[in-house]
Structure formats: structure tokens, C-alpha cells
Amino acid sequence: MIGVISKPSQTVVVEEFFQLFKTPWEFYKEGRSYDVVVATTGDVPKVTSRLLVAYGTRNADFDAQAGIVGSVRLRCATLNYRGCGLPIYSEVLTFEQTGVAEACLTTGSRMVGIKIDSGDSVLLRIGYDLFGEIQFLLSVGQPVENAHIPTLEIHIAMLREWMIDAGIDFLEIPPVPAGHPFTVCLTHDIDFVGIRRHKFDHTMWGFLFRSTIGSAREFLRRRISLMRLCEAWKAAASLPLVYLGWAKDFWLCFDWYLQLERGLTPTYFFIPFKSRCGDHVAADHPRRRATAYDIGDVPDLISQLRGEGCEVGVHGIDSWHTVKGGREELSRVKSVTGESELGIRMHWLLHDENTYQVLEEAGYCYDSTAGYNETPGYRCGTTQVFRPLPARKLLELPMHIQDGALFLPSRLGLSECEAWKQCDTVITNAQRLGGVLTILWHDRSPAPERFWGEFYVKLVTYLKSLNVWFAGAGQVVAWFRSRRAVRFESVPSKDGVARIRLCAGGSYVTPPMRVVLYSTCPTEHNGAGTGRRTFVYAWDGSADIEFGLLADSGTPEPAVCPSQCSRE
């Protein structure tokens, strides 16, 4: 059990942190015994825990007692943890080298984290405020230059690894469904429904320029093949026939997506009202951003998508800044889909510091706007669904990879080889950290003049080979809600063995959750020597389970192990 000593203002942040690092914890209580104490205040009582992790940027009372000497303070430093870069967005306190301290976290030649091992206990003194950093990540988010770093997940990994290194036995429910390495959510923002709706407007003229002169320029730069150049010119030449209805609208790609993604439960975000450019849009020519369709124009398409098992959400225009607008847009999409609960992704990823509260009051189930237009990455530093700090029930499904960020000349403008390297890095992180990988591919991206379809096929095919769990946005959020609902309860024990009961309220979770038990146990049957072992279980949540270290065999097993829990 972890005991947490934090500043009074950090209560909500602490609670959310331990929804992401799902392990038994509670706010510190005098007289209780804890394996681990995590503190972010300078006033730390005398504790007897096996591991004390004391964060903070001010010299604390116990620093002098432990022989710790503070040094210079830095702002917005990048730390080195076991070869991994960790950006810190507020103040950092460095420490002087002393004979009793071992560096565990550095920036340049300076120590930001020190370890003092007295044999019976370990003190880790860390020179920043953990929960202050978490608050920044979940409210403001990372600047684009650090988009590639899953910063929040690194904070979790550090605490987990320190607990393991100290020989602490503990349980965790990681953000990973049992039987899968991570989750993938395929999403599509529907900005256009065919080019036939665009006649002599900026969209049509832009397409003609890009498919003719623009494609020729890209061919000369060897960025597209001769075949794609010919296809682009062919599409431009066929545009009059498309308008007359004599040729297929090459921007209608829904059948292509349905074939590729059959059984993968993609999510489509539709515009609620056409011809609305939106208020407070800080961009060039905002009026040109109004769409030529809305969800009311395509009821048959909505029925087709839902019949194929796809999810539908709101592609909001004004929901990000006004409760009234949010309710109107939500009601509009509900009236077509018939769904009682819907999520949203804002058009152009618009948001401000009040957006989460506005969306929650408007009645949305989840948001999936937290991402970058400029690059792949982790705006809030996490691979997990989380609760934004101003919200009470609304959850955020972060977005990690967007086609436009990869390929548009005004964004990264990558070649397919370069784009694959970017995607592969994000996928590798997902394999290591778990959570969900959310991908945005716009509806017309497989069509001329973009031709981003082949890359998307390669990406989806590769993800299939990894045995990931593909799920719709609503399904993913529901799974994380179930994980968040799990409670850890200490169970009084008569045999001297500490036990923890996991309670999910009897709700059936599919796919099951993964439960991991990190344990120090004998390495030989005669008990000579000890070692670290990890035990992994699949639990569907329909019945409570208890875990403890069985004294007779030294083998951790669920003390109450119904058929709903099994070794993974």
C-alpha cells in the first residue's frame, strides 16, 4: 500500500494520477504502516516505510537529517532517467554530491534525484513536484517540441521501477486488456462527403491546383510516382463527369474504409451543421472552413456505418467554447443516430482552458481532441484515457497519429518512409507502455490528390499482426471507465499475510483486465535465496478477488480465485 502526503490543493491531481497508475494507495494516515510513502510537501512526518519518495523544489526538514544539500534551481529542465529524456515544466532543485547519496536522476552534470539506501529502507529525494507536473500535463499539455515524449507515462514508470528495485510487493492493473499488448482506436473526421457538393468554391479550385500543377511539382521532386501523377490528372479531368453524375465521386471513400476496417469498429465523427464556419476561430480565412454537408444529409450512410458495427460521434464546430452550441450539436447528431451517449472531436482540434467543462456541461460522454495538428505525439503525455482535471465525469481519449500532420506540406510534409519511422516510434511506445493508440485518418485521404490510402493499409495491416485490441472510441472509453471503477480494499488477515481485495462492483469487463502482481519470493523450494517474480492474471471483474502471498509455498496466487480470474 502506498501512503501519499500531498499539498491540499493537489487532492484531485493525486486521485487522477492513481487512476493512471492503478495500484493500491491512500492518503497518508498517522499510525498506519505503509510499504511506500510518496510525499510532495516539505513537512514529512517520521515514517517507517521501506521506501520513501520525497518530491519537492524546496529544502525540506528531513534533508539536513539525511545529509542532503540542495544546490541551484533550474526552470524547465530536461532530466535524464536511465537514458530516457524527461521534460520538467516547472522548477527543478538540484543537489550537491555527498558521500551518502547515489544519483538516480540527472540533468547534465547535476543531480536532480538522489538515492540513500540504509539497508532496511530506501530514501529517494527528487527535486521536482510530481503532482505539479501531472497537473500541468493534464490541463495545459506539452508544447509541440516535446510531443514525442510520453512524459506522464515516464513519471509512472519511474515510480513503479523504484518500487520494484526496493523489493516492494504490490499489485497493479495496467492499462492493457488481457491477451493484447495495447489497444488501437481507428477514427475518421468527416470534413467532406464527396467533391460533388463543391462547385466553383475554394475546395474545388484547391483540388484542381493540387491535382494538376501541385502533382506535377511533386513528381518532379520525386515525391510521387508517375502512376500517381497520372491518377491525379485523370481525377481532375473527370471532375465535370462527376458533377454530371456520369462518373464516380472519387472523394467518396466509405466503401473502401468499410472493406479495410471490417470487424475493427472504427469511429466516424460527423459535422452537425453545414455552412457554419464557427466562432472564435483563430485561423486564416475561417469562413472557408465551413462544410458543404452535415449529418442530416447522409442518414443512409449513418445507417450503413452503424450496420457494419462502426461508431459515430460529433465533429464539433462551436462545442469547444459554448455550452449552448455544444448541446445543439450533440442534439443534432443524436437525432440522426438515435444514440443516447456520444463523444466528440472538435473540428480543427480547437480547444481552450474551459473546453472540458463546456463539453461536460453540454452532455458529451467523452472527448478525443487532445492531440496535435502539427505532429504525432502525446499532448498530455499519456497513452491512457484520462479525466481532464476540470471535469468530473468526462473522459479524454487522446489522439496520437494524424494523417495530415504526417503528410501535408504545411505540416511535416514527410515521405512515406519518414512517416513510417514516426508511426513506428509511437507504436513501439504503445507496446512498452500499454494504453490506447488513437489514429485519425480523414475521409478523403485515400483519394486523389492525397493518395494516403496505401500507407494506411500498411499501418492497419501491421497493427493487426501485433494482436492489438481494435475498438471504437466509445468502447475504449467504457473499458477504461471499468478499470477506473475498480477498488482496492485491505483485507484483515489472521495468518499474518497481507491481502488485497479487488472489487469491480460485479460489472463484466470485456476484454478482461490484466492484473499484475510484483513479488519477492523464494527462488528455491527450500527457501534459500530470494528473487523478483511477476505474475500476470486475466480478470473479467464479475466477481471480487483477493491476492496474498501464501506462506506455505511462497507462490503468489489469488486467495479467492473464481473462474473469472486466471493466469494470462
Position 179 pLDDT exceeds 90: yes
292: DSSP letter? S
| Exposure of 424 in the CB half-sphere (CA atoms within 13 A) | 8
Read off the C-alpha cell for 368: 478525443
Q: What is the pLDDT of residue 145?
A: 97
DSSP 185-225: EEEEEE--S-STT-SSSHHHHHHHHIIIIIHHHHHHTTSS-
pLDDT > 70: what percent of the chain?
A: 94
Position 287 pLDDT exceeds 90: no
pLDDT band at 451 (very low <50, low <70, confident <90, very high): very high
Choose among 103, 101, 99: nearest CA to 82: 103
pLDDT band at 424 (very low <50, low <70, confident <90, very high): very high
Q: What is the pLDDT of residue 286?
A: 74
Q: What is the pLDDT of residue 52?
A: 94
How do residues 374-405 score in pLDDT, each as one tens digit?
999 999 999 999 999 889 999 999 999 999 99
pLDDT band at 481 (very low <50, low <70, confident <90, very high): very high
Which one-letter amino acid corresponds to residue 220? Answer: L
Which region among 21-25, 94-98, 348-352, 474-478 has the lowest average model confidence (pLDDT)?
Answer: 94-98
User: Treating both helix axes as pointing N-terminal to C-terminal, what angle do 323-337 and 299-307 enclose, rounded to 10 degrees?
Assistant: 70
Q: Please tell me the total number of residues recorded for the chain in this structure.
A: 568
pLDDT band at 521 (very low <50, low <70, confident <90, very high): low
| Residue range 317-330: mean pLDDT, rounded | 97
pLDDT > 90: what percent of the chain?
A: 81
How do residues 182-226 score in pLDDT, each as one tens digit?
999 999 999 999 999 999 999 999 999 999 999 999 999 998 999
Q: What is the pLDDT of residue 530?
A: 53
Residue 259: which residues within 8 A CB-CB, separation 6 or more?
Answer: none
Position 486 pLDDT exceeds 80: yes
pLDDT band at 549 (very low <50, low <70, confident <90, very high): low
Position 311 pLDDT exceeds 80: yes
Position 327 pLDDT exceeds 50: yes
pLDDT band at 553 (very low <50, low <70, confident <90, very high): very low
Taking the C-alpha atoms of residue 548 and residue 170, their distance in angstroms, rounded to an integer, is: 10
| Residue range 416-440: mean pLDDT, rounded | 98
Q: What is the pLDDT of residue 562?
A: 53
Position 78 pLDDT exceeds 70: yes
Report the DSSP pairing between strands 499-503 and 545-549.
antiparallel
Q: What is the pLDDT of residue 61?
A: 76
Are the C-beta atoms of residues 352 and 320 closer than 8 Å to each other? Answer: yes
pLDDT band at 98 (very low <50, low <70, confident <90, very high): confident
Q: What is the pLDDT of residue 494?
A: 66
pLDDT band at 256 (very low <50, low <70, confident <90, very high): very high
Position 352 pLDDT exceeds 90: yes
Taking the C-alpha atoms of residue 257 and residue 266, their distance in angstroms, rounded to an integer, is: 9
Q: What is the pLDDT of residue 558?
A: 58
Q: Give the residue, 520 or 77, on which the prediction is more confident.
A: 77
| Residue range 427-450: mean pLDDT, rounded | 97
Q: What is the pLDDT of residue 527?
A: 47
Position 557 pLDDT exceeds 50: yes
Position 341 pLDDT exceeds 80: yes
Report the first-to-last Cα separation within the chain, whole angstroms.
24
DSSP 484-532: HH-EEEEE--SSS--EEEEE-TT---SSPEEEEEEEEEESSTT--SEEE
Q: What is the pLDDT of residue 551?
A: 40
What's this model's pTM, rounded to 2 decimal places?
0.94
Taking the C-alpha atoms of residue 347 and residue 289, their distance in angstroms, rounded to an integer, is: 9
Query: What integer best gives the mean pLDDT of the chain?
Result: 92
To the nearest 10°, report the CA torsion of 268, 272, 275, 281.
-80
Please report where in the chains the cell 509512472 appears, as a residue.
156
pLDDT band at 435 (very low <50, low <70, confident <90, very high): very high
Taking the C-alpha atoms of residue 358 and residue 506, their distance in angstroms, rounded to an integer, is: 32
Choose among 5, 13, 124: nearest CA to 380: 13
Three-state SS across 172-194? ECCCCECCCCCEEEEEEEECCCC
Q: What is the pLDDT of residue 43?
A: 79
Taking the C-alpha atoms of residue 130 and residue 89, their distance in angstroms, rounded to an integer, is: 11
How do residues 232-249 score in pLDDT, each as one tens digit?
999 999 999 999 999 999
Are the C-beta atoms of residues 153 and 433 closer than 8 Å to each other? Answer: yes
